[in-house]
């Protein structure tokens, strides 16, 4: 049985390649995503995150310790350094892969074209608070923005890392954040609420007129980590016409919040099922967090995507539903938001 091609909602492969000096076009001994492994795993396109770590770097998962845990928000990153580093990463992506700018280009990737890269900002620090450079970023291919990573910036506040716990900490959108939401909708840039705190997420949902997405988030009812979405939030995202990309991070999958990569695919299936129950099958997709998180050994890397789809098939999802989860729901939403 032929499995559908996958559009993946989130990866951090750019950060890995930027640090290693390698290439996305060659099979790498480390990490999760490159062109050869994407081809083997049926990955047609993905949201390639431009993420600028702070001086302290990314959080080391080992530093979390066993649940329960709570880490404060990371300190803000210097906007000037973020802008320079983000531009370098965007240039790197453009050299490595075709940057997808339209729904038609994305459809060609799904139909067997080259691995397509959707340029995504994970944290809007590279954008000037007055939005004076946003259209310039759009011209270079930016089609998706996560307003924050888990730290504050000029636009909003992020969700802390807690288990168990919620994202209900800190204020909502700033005036600049509200303007960013409005301008992204005008330009046709997808709004991603992953990593937003509760008040910021509610602010985006109240303000947006079109689909809102969570590129890499899971169900809080299954795993009560602060980065996961409550049932009310899942339904509210669906009400905009948006989607939730199920994240493979084990700390966001496992009901116990643990960091054990000996995590069964049944946990991925459980989150898909819960999001589908709350939001509807038209509003659930995949958002792996490849190269940005510890993922189940049964997945391993991008070559393990067929095992995810086979697990969903074994759980009773038919061909039509598998196509929606694998790529159809992303195609629909991006086709609605993007201005071709």
In a domain, 128, yes or no: yes
- Give me the number of domains the chain comprises: 1
1 found inside a domain = no
Greater model confidence, 217 or 2:
217
Question: pLDDT (tens digit, 9 = 90+) per residue, 229-257?
Answer: 999 999 999 999 999 999 999 999 999 99
User: How far is Cα 51 from Cα 176, in angstroms, rounded to an integer?
Assistant: 20
Provide the percentage of residues in the chain whose pLDDT is more than 90. 92
| pLDDT exceeds cutoff 70 at 61 | no
pLDDT reported for residue 54: 86
Instruction: Assess if residue 144 is contained within a domain.
Output: yes
The domain of 55 spans: 6-337
> Per the domain annotation, does 332 fall within a domain?
yes
Q: Does some domain include residue 319?
A: yes
Tell me, what CATH number does 13's domain have? Answer: 3.20.20.140
3-class DSSP state of 192: strand
Q: Return contacts of 60-63, CB within 8 angstroms, 24+ apart.
A: 61/251, 61/259, 61/293, 61/294, 62/259
What does pTM read for this prediction?
Answer: 0.97
**25 found inside a domain:** yes
pLDDT of residue 340: 64
Give the Cα separation of 210 and 230 in Å (integer). 21
pLDDT in tens, 91-147: 999 999 999 999 999 999 999 999 999 999 999 999 999 999 999 999 999 999 999
Neighbours of 81 (CB within 10 A): 14
Q: Please, how many CA atoms are within 13 Å of residue 12, restricted to the half-sphere of its CB?
A: 24
């Amino acid at each position: 049985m032929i499995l559908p091609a996958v559009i993946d909602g989130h990866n951090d492969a750019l950060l890995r390649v930027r640090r290693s000096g390698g290439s996305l076009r060659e099979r790498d001994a480390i990490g999760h995503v490159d062109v050869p492994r994407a081809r083997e795993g049926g990955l047609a396109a993905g949201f390639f995150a431009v993420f600028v770590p702070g001086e302290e770097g990314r959080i080391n998962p080992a530093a979390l310790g066993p649940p329960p845990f709570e880490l404060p928000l990371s300190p803000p990153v210097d906007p000037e350094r973020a802008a320079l580093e983000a531009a370098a990463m965007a240039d790197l992506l453009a050299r490595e892969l075709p940057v997808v700018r339209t729904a038609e280009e994305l459809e060609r990737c799904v139909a067997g074209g080259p691995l397509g890269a959707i340029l995504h900002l994970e944290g809007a620090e590279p954008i000037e608070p007055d939005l004076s450079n946003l259209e310039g970023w759009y011209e270079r291919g930016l089609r998706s923005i996560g307003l924050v990573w888990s730290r504050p910036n000029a636009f909003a506040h992020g969700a802390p890392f807690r288990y168990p716990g919620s994202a209900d900490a800190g204020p909502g959108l700033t005036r600049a954040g509200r303007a960013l939401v409005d301008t992204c909708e005008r330009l046709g840039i997808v709004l991603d609420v992953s990593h937003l705190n509760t008040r910021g997420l509610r602010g985006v949902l109240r303000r947006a007129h079109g689909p809102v997405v969570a590129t890499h988030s899971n169900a809080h009812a299954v795993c009560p980590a602060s980065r996961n979405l409550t049932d009310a939030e899942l339904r509210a995202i669906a009400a905009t016409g948006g989607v939730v990309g199920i994240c493979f991070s084990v700390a966001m999958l496992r009901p116990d919040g643990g960091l054990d990569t000996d995590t069964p695919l049944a946990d991925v299936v459980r989150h898909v099922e819960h999001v589908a129950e709350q939001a509807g099958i038209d509003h659930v997709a995949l958002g792996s967090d490849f190269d940005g998180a510890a993922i189940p050994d049964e997945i391993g890397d991008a070559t393990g995507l067929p095992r995810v789809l086979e697990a969903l098939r074994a759980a009773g999802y038919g061909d039509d539903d598998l196509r929606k989860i694998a790529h159809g729901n992303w195609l629909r939403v991006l086709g609605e938001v993007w201005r071709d």
